[in-house]
């Protein structure tokens, strides 16, 4: 890769990381606001889902940037991660668009009985499909982590991405065993750690 190509990749990676952090943190803030009772139904759902639908493509572009940033001999790992990121983006985009365009309007009009199969409730169809989607996000970070070197900022990105990957145990397990939610909720810690680290990594690379 030429120096100019690497700089372009780094700048795209930087902006993808910026938007990933922004939309991810917006979801986390909305989640805490809901738990604190500041947001009431159905607006709690809307404010959590809205940033999430933009998080998906931002994360995908970030994984693509990682794939083009790392050395060719380690791209098998980022290639696998990128494939899982595509699956994640596809699944959750369908889920969130359905929530915003079908579920929310019916809730506002008091006609949720017409779409009871699509109700946004714990262990409902849409929430479980959403869980599978975030399982693929975890797999994307887990495999892409091994594309980074074990030195400097790349080592930290590698560690935090592996940590985010491991929480797939809680994300998928909580669908069947509620106690696993204690692991899944660590998403609010591992996500900022790896996404902010990648932002720093690409910012440094773009300025070199």
Q: At what angle do helices 168-176 and 152-166 cross, to 10 degrees?
A: 10
Predicted confidence at residue 108, as pLDDT, reads 87
Contacts 24+ apart (CB under 8 A), 85-90: 85/59, 85/60, 85/136, 85/137, 85/140, 85/144, 86/60, 87/133, 87/136, 88/56, 88/59, 88/60, 88/133, 88/134, 88/136, 88/137, 88/140, 89/56, 89/57, 89/59, 89/60
Predicted confidence at residue 165, as pLDDT, reads 98
174-200: b (≥16 Cβ within 10 Å) or e: bbeeeebeebbeebeebbbbbbbbbbe
Q: What is the pLDDT along the chain (208 residues), one digit of tens a residue?
A: 677 888 999 999 999 999 999 999 999 999 999 989 898 888 888 999 999 999 999 999 999 999 999 999 999 999 999 999 999 999 999 999 999 999 999 988 888 888 888 888 888 999 999 999 999 999 999 999 999 999 999 999 999 999 999 999 999 999 888 899 999 999 999 999 999 999 999 999 999 8
Location of structure tokens 């400097």: 152
Give residue 151's domain range.
3-207
Predicted confidence at residue 1, as pLDDT, reads 66
Location of structure tokens 């985010």: 164
Question: How many other CB atoms are found less than 10 A from the CB of residue 169?
Answer: 14
Of all helices (H) and strands (E), which one includes residue 186? Answer: none
CA atoms of 57 and 86, how far apart (whole Å): 9
Q: Which residues contact 138 (CB under 8 A, 6 or more apart)?
A: 164, 165, 166, 167, 168, 171
Overall number of domains in the chain:
1
CB-count burial class (<10 Å; 0-12, 13-18, 19+) for 86: middle
CA atoms of 149 and 109, how far apart (whole Å): 53
128-177 tens-digit pLDDT: 999 999 999 999 999 999 999 999 999 999 999 999 999 999 999 998 88
Predicted confidence at residue 5, as pLDDT, reads 87
Confirm if 206 and 14 have CB atoms less than 8 A apart.
Answer: yes
Of all helices (H) and strands (E), which one includes residue 40? Answer: none
Give the Å distances, CA to CA, from 150 to 51, 120, 129, 159, 170.
32, 42, 35, 9, 27
Predicted confidence at residue 206, as pLDDT, reads 94
């Amino acid at each position: 890769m030429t120096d100019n190509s690497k700089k372009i990749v780094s700048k795209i990676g930087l902006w993808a990381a910026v938007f990933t952090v922004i939309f991810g943190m917006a979801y986390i803030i909305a989640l805490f606001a809901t738990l604190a009772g500041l947001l009431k139904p159905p607006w709690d759902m809307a404010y959590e889902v809205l940033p999430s639908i933009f998080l998906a493509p931002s994360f995908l572009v970030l994984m693509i940037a990682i794939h083009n940033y790392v050395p060719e001999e380690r791209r098998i790992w980022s290639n696998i991660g990128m494939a899982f990121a595509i699956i994640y983006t596809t699944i959750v985009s369908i889920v969130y668009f359905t929530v915003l365009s079908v579920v929310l309007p019916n809730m506002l009009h008091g006609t949720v009985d017409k779409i009871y199969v699509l109700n946004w409730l714990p262990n409902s169809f849409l929430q479980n499909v959403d869980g599978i989607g975030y399982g693929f996000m975890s797999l994307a970070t887990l495999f892409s982590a091994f594309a980074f070197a074990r030195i400097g900022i790349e080592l930290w990105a590698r560690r935090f991405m592996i940590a985010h990957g491991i929480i797939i145990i809680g994300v998928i397990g909580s669908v069947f065993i509620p106690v696993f939610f204690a692991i899944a909720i660590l998403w609010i810690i591992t996500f900022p750690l790896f996404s902010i680290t990648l932002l720093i990594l690409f910012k440094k690379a773009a300025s070199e």
